[in-house]
Amino acid sequence: MPNKVVIIGSGMMGSGIAAISALAGNYTVLVDVVQESAEKGILTAKESIAILLKNELTTEKEAKTAETLLEWNCCMETALKNADMVIEAVYENLELKQKLFKEIDKLLPPKVPIASNTSGLRITDIAAGVKHKERTMTTHFWFPAHLVPLVEVVMSEWTDPEIALKMKNELNRWGKKAVLVKKDLSGQLANRILQAIIREAASIVEMGLASPEDVDIAVKMGMGIRFPAWGPLEHVDGVGVDLCTLVQNTVLPDISADKEACTLMENMVKRGDLGAKTGQGFYNWNEKDMNKLKDERDNFIIEALKILKRGNL
């Protein structure tokens, strides 16, 4: 019998996770209280599988098998029967997630891991009212979940390290690149790094050092293009810890150390310039096409995945 994975929430993240779970050979149940949403989630999962097949990131046999392993259910209690793993992927609302975790905890045997796909909330808070806290953790899949390899497995002070390690190993079996985050801090691991980059990028624009376009080009065509094969700490060892220490002592005193969002971004929010959804942010989105940019992003990730797969990185 294949493992049974239950995913609560059938939106963009839930459907993407379901696709990867099914491709790993798991019987995967997508749960949503609204039948139309659940059915749509299954269709989206199948579309994600089709994209991977089209780009030779899975085989026809694996894709066809995965489609047969996908099901939906509107009754959580029924869906959870004989589950081997549960991943909650509803929208970012703490009270909702806390309520779901309490219900799931009561319905499952104590050894079945319960994970949240939260990107911003702490698993410590989400699982505060759960009896068996040792089996709770975050599994933060990065969007789009069917393409981006990273999953952050975040432990609270209660999480059993053995259960967390088993989760990490299982997600690696799915073809993901899981990392273990040993403290439940805001931003988890990767988002802490991303927010530091955004803080300095916005500061550079605010001080007039460069335009938004040139900042993005510098990141994408410089450090960003080598990151998949050359991480920042590998870079430090590669060029020398002594050299990097000298550079840090020179540069760090002059870069942003703000503890709040920069004034430039705060003023944009006040004006209602919220980015692509309002037509204006750092860029004029009446002139720049966000859908085209998203397609370019996904196509680049797909090509990068092909290279990573060939290199076994």
Q: What is the largest CA-CA distance in the chain?
A: 60
pLDDT exceeds cutoff 80 at 1: no
Distance (Å, whole) CA 219 – CA 131: 45
**Tokens 């839930």, located at residue:** 14
Torsional sign, CA 292, 282, 146, 13: negative
- Is the pLDDT at 202 greater than 80? The verdict is yes
User: Taking residues 117-143, what's their average pLDDT?
Assistant: 96
- Asked if pLDDT for residue 153 goes beyond 60, the answer is yes
Please determine, for residue 256, whether its predicted confidence score (pLDDT) is greater than 90. yes
- Return mean pLDDT, the chain: 96
Helix (H, G, I), strand (E, B) or coil at 50: helix
pLDDT value at residue 313:
61
What are the tens digits of pLDDT across the range 12-26?
999 999 999 999 999
For the chain, count helices (H), then strands (E). 14, 8
Distance (Å, whole) CA 221 – CA 240: 23
- On the question of pLDDT at 120 being above 90, the answer is no
pLDDT of res. 311: 73
For the chain, where are the alpha helices, taking DSSP H only?
12-23, 35-54, 60-68, 76-79, 94-107, 123-126, 161-173, 190-206, 212-218, 224-226, 232-239, 241-251, 263-271, 290-311
Token pair listed for 72: 């939906």
pLDDT digit string (tens) for 90-112?
A: 999 999 999 999 999 999 999 99
> What percentage of the chain reaches a pLDDT higher than 70?
99
3-state class of 121 per DSSP?
A: coil
pLDDT above 80: residue 2: no
Q: Which amino acid is at 132?
A: H
CATH 3.40.50.2000 fits 4-181, yes or no: no
Radius of gyration of the chain (CA): 21
- Gap between the Cα atoms of 23 and 175, Å rounded: 9
Q: Is the pLDDT score of 296 beyond 70?
A: yes
Residues paired with residue 116 on neighbouring β-strands, in sequence order:
88, 138
Confirm whether pTM is higher than 0.75. yes
The share of the chain scoring above pLDDT 90, in percent, equals: 95
| pLDDT confidence bin for 280, thresholds 50/70/90 | very high
Beta-strand relationship, 85-88 and 70-73? unpaired
Fold assignment, 189-260: N-(1-d-carboxylethyl)-l-norvaline Dehydrogenase; domain 2 (1.10.1040)
pLDDT in tens, 209-243: 999 999 999 999 999 999 998 999 999 999 999 99
The domain locations on the chain are: 4-181, 189-260, 272-313
Predicted confidence band of residue 312 (pLDDT cuts 50, 70, 90): low
- For residue 65 the two structure tokens come to 């098998």
Report which of residues 86 and 313 the model is more confident about.
86
pLDDT mean over 159-172: 97
Q: Are 167 and 115 in contact (CB under 8 A)?
A: yes
pLDDT tops 80 at residue 251: yes
Under a CB-based contact definition with an 8 Å cutoff, are residues 63 and 22 in contact? Answer: no
Spatial CA neighbour of 153 closest among 174, 126, 177:
177
Task: Note the pLDDT of residue 160.
Answer: 97
Produce one character per residue of 36-53: b if its CB has 16 or more CB atoms within 10 Å, e if not. Answer: ebbebbbebbbebbebbb
pLDDT band (50, 70, 90) for residue 245:
very high
CA 194 – CA 143 distance, rounded (Å): 14
